[in-house]
Structure 1
Amino acid sequence: MTARAYCDCHVNIWNEEHVLPLYTEQLARVRAGAMAPKSDADTLHAEMAHVEKAIVFALRYGDSIGIESDDETTAAAVAKYPEKFVGFAYVDPRRADCMELLVHAVEDLKLKGVKFGPIYNGVALSDPRLVPVYEYLQKNNIPLTMHMGTTFARNAPIDMGRPLHVEPIAQKYPDLVMVMAHMGHPWYEECIVVSRKQPNVFCEISALSYRPWQYYNILIAAQEYRITDKIFFGTDFPFARVDESVDGLLTINDQVEGTRLPRVSEETMQRILESNPFTHWWHGDNPLA
């Protein structure tokens, strides 16, 4: 695979000391053999060799997945590989110092966006603890990427991953760019219709290529609802790799060869691969400045 002018908008970073026993205990419900042993800065840089830019963020999923990283890890990776990485902060609204950490991440560490997993932290998007987060992000032109969709973790309330919950927040904060990761699987139709209705809501296809039938139906629905211009490329590394994510998209129609089923168009595939969040997720400012 040769270098392409596309961005991986969903890359997880952690060091070995951030991995808790709970993580290994739950891997049976993740793809067998698909997990990279590491997801530190050097590992990510090698994996992203054929990606122009990678948006990276730490996870604070200690009590659900078993990964408890921090924004300093993200900032250190950006400092080491500034030509490759763009860092996002992580917010956990359960913490009393949530806003203090967020302000530090943005104003001191110079991280350019925010990641939040409502299903992983057990905090609904409508929770009042998130109000100062939304207000700060909207005021400071900072996009919010959210894990929307299900997960394998037992301690993760499924309903909090439903994309329908994004719409009221998008309406209340119309200048806050919100990005639904994983197309909200398996509720991808909710993700698609919310994104179509709300100008400030986008979505991305990370970690979908290894469920090809679901992935095919997602992309067909996105074409029919005409939202393919709001879908961005991502991997969710280390849960999926760059090459398999690209190949999974480009070969999505193989499974329907010989049938009369509709095809994912070449235009859709190329539009996703060439998507550039830096021209859509921020309001005019250059996030790389």
Structure 2
Amino acid sequence: MSAPRPLTDWHTHIYELCHCGPVWTDRGAELVGRPAFGEADVAEHRRVMRADGVDRFLVLGLQIDRMGMDVPNDYVGAYLDANRDRAIGVGSVDPTRPGAADELRRAVGRWGLSGVKLSPPYQGFHPHSDDAYEVYRAAADLGIFLMFHQASVFAPDGVLEYAYPSLLDRVAREFRDTNLLLAHLGKPWMNETVELMMKNPNVFADISTLPIKPWQMYNGLRLAVEGHVTDRLVFGSDFPSFRPRQAADDFLAIADLQMPLPISREVVEDIVYNRPFDLILNS
């Protein structure tokens, strides 16, 4: 039996539990039985990436003032420094925090981060707000991509009306030279996400967390096939919520579903195995 093919994982977190804050920790335990959705310090991240055959990975932080979550950009950057040959780093700022754009400039200048993670529904800002635009302009000036959690949220205080993927159409239009990467294919609004991608060639999406919901994943991927945007879908595990190898296997299994409109194995394998980071860094 041949060895599993190496993976490129576009969505992995690192943090110490002290970075997470009470909402993330307590709600995580309530939902999945593990505080903060699992251990994700640098030692555990290194162990799992090696064990699961992850050849390349995107490592990211997250800052959410209203939830008390603060994964320092220096924590992400130091880990990136130790993995320059196989990783890209995505920092985070909370646009509602004064000086967010300045912190982004500092972190990118210090660590060479490739992107910034934002979450309107968790951080509680409208994607068209002045504070958000200050961060977008800084990212555009720095030449980095914008990564959005523009999807459902688990926190009771999450703001779902800020989560709709179509709200990012204005951002994609006004920052044509800046790539946008949407986490989780915008679930449950996958149709909106695909329409956004069809209209805007600078919009990409990862499929993290969806493989555990095969019906939702099937429908989202079917929409992407019909919209001819699967070449801008990338694989991500959302570690530590899910192990990379299991997430990849679950996603590949979409091709085995007996459906009137099947998803070909060629499509799912292409997403899992043929998405180098240059796709978003140099496009």
| CA contact 1:182–1:208 (8 Å) conserved in 2 | yes
> Cα–Cα, structure 1 residues 202 and 100, in superposed 2: closer, same or farther, change >3 Å?
same
Runs (5+) with no aligned partner, structure 1: 285-289
| CA contact 1:89–1:115 (8 Å) conserved in 2 | yes
Which consecutive aligned stretches of 4+ in structure 1 deviate over 3 angstroms post-superposition? 1-6, 28-37
Q: Establish whether residue 261 from structure 1 lines up as the match of residue 263 from structure 2.
A: no
The alpha-carbon deviation at position 59 of structure 1 amounts to: 1.3
The alpha-carbon deviation at position 38 of structure 1 amounts to: 1.1
The alpha-carbon deviation at position 7 of structure 1 amounts to: 1.7
Alignment partner, residue 45 of structure 1: 46
Query: What is the identity, as a one-letter code, of the residue corresponding to 1:114?
Result: V
Distance 2:36 2:110 in 1: 33
Query: What is the identity, as a one-letter code, of the residue corresponding to 1:158?
Result: L
The alpha-carbon deviation at position 128 of structure 1 amounts to: 0.8
SS at match of 2:166: helix
Among 90, 109, 112, the residue aligned to 1:110: 112
The alpha-carbon deviation at position 279 of structure 1 amounts to: 2.0
Alignment partner, residue 287 of structure 1: none
SS at match of 1:30: helix
Summarize the alignment of residues 116-135 of structure 1 with structure 2, pairs less than 5 Å apart: 116-135=118-137
Runs (5+) with no aligned partner, structure 2: none
Alignment partner, residue 95 of structure 1: 97
The alpha-carbon deviation at position 228 of structure 1 amounts to: 0.6
Query: What is the identity, as a one-letter code, of the residue corresponding to 1:250?
Result: L
Q: Establish whether residue 226 from structure 1 lines up as the match of residue 238 from structure 2.
A: no
- Per-residue deviation, residues 90-117 of structure 1 (Å, max 9, x unmatched): 0211111212210111111221211111
Alignment partner, residue 194 of structure 2: 192
| CA contact 1:184–1:191 (8 Å) conserved in 2 | yes
Which segment is superposed worse, 3-12 or 111-120?
3-12
- Per-residue deviation, residues 62-93 of structure 1 (Å, max 9, x unmatched): 533x5321101101211233333321110211
Distance 2:159 2:170 in 1: 19
Among 140, 143, 147, the residue aligned to 1:138: 140
Among 80, 83, 86, the residue aligned to 2:85: 83
Q: Establish whether residue 211 from structure 1 lines up as the match of residue 213 from structure 2.
A: yes
Among 243, 250, 254, the residue aligned to 1:248: 250
Q: CA RMSD in A?
A: 2.0
The TM-score with structure 2 as length reference comes to 0.92
> Cα–Cα, structure 1 residues 127 and 240, in superposed 2: closer, same or farther, change >3 Å?
same
Alignment partner, residue 176 of structure 2: 174
Query: What is the identity, as a one-letter code, of the residue corresponding to 1:143?
Result: F
The TM-score with structure 1 as length reference comes to 0.90
The alpha-carbon deviation at position 266 of structure 1 amounts to: 1.2
Summarize the alignment of residues 151-166 of structure 1 with structure 2, pairs less than 5 Å apart: 151-166=153-168
Alignment partner, residue 201 of structure 1: 203
| CA contact 2:25–2:35 (8 Å) conserved in 1 | no
Distance 1:4 1:214 in 2: 26
The alpha-carbon deviation at position 136 of structure 1 amounts to: 2.2
The share of aligned pairs that are identical, in percent, is 28
Among 57, 61, 72, the residue aligned to 1:58: 61
Alignment partner, residue 279 of structure 1: 278
Query: What is the identity, as a one-letter code, of the residue corresponding to 1:21?
Result: P
| CA contact 2:20–2:36 (8 Å) conserved in 1 | no
Query: What is the identity, as a one-letter code, of the residue corresponding to 1:275?
Result: N
SS at match of 2:266: helix
Query: What is the identity, as a one-letter code, of the residue corresponding to 1:172?
Result: E
The alpha-carbon deviation at position 189 of structure 1 amounts to: 0.3
Distance 1:281 1:236 in 2: 18
Aligned length: 280
Distance 1:196 1:116 in 2: 22
